[in-house]
Amino acid sequence: MKRCLITAVAGLAVFASFAQPAFAQAAQTVMRMLSKEVARALSDRSESIDKALVDASAKMNAHLPMQLDKDTRLDTTLAGPGNRLTYSYTLINLSAEDGDGDIVSRVMRPIILNGYKTDPQFAVFREHRTEMHLVYRDKDGKFVTRIIISPNDLQ
């Protein structure tokens, strides 16, 4: 039992140091794609951010699920309630029993938050104070973690 625990902890350390930035990069790529759709919807028509998020999410979902990298699949996006956009991912090489959602969140959140704060393509989300939820599930569909990026994080 102790040996199994040590192996699991060592595996998590490797997972945290190498795999997580790829997951975060995949998440940022998807956020960029949706930000372009939202910006296009807002500039083409005089509609609310809520409606633009619904339209962008529907367009994105028409192409999902999508394999983003060797570890990450984007399954769906969901607009709302209100000014919120939720991304649902599967970490296809992770089992919830083997991983630790806190590690996933601790490693990925700062990377994703930095992109949200600094990437010019995310400006539409910052300007409209859109809240982002990134939900991660394991290869069996079990919940791993939820990362929330809030407009309050910009301060």
Q: Could you read off the pLDDT of 51-85 as tens digits, one per residue?
A: 888 988 998 899 999 998 888 899 999 999 999 99
Phi, psi of 97 (to 5 degrees): -70, -30
Dist. CA 10–CA 81, nearest whole Å: 39
Residue 1 is encoded by which pair of tokens?
A: 């039992």
Dist. CA 27–CA 5, nearest whole Å: 30
pTM: 0.75
pLDDT grade for 1, boundaries at 50, 70 and 90: very low
Cβ atoms < 10 Å from Cβ of 64: 14
Q: In what order do the strands lie in the sheet with 143-149?
A: 66-67, 72-79, 84-91, 131-138, 143-149
Q: Domain map of the chain by residue range? A: 2-154
Please state which of the four CATH numbers 3.30.360.10, 3.30.300.250, 3.90.25.10, 3.90.1300.10 is assigned to the domain occupying 2-154: 3.30.300.250
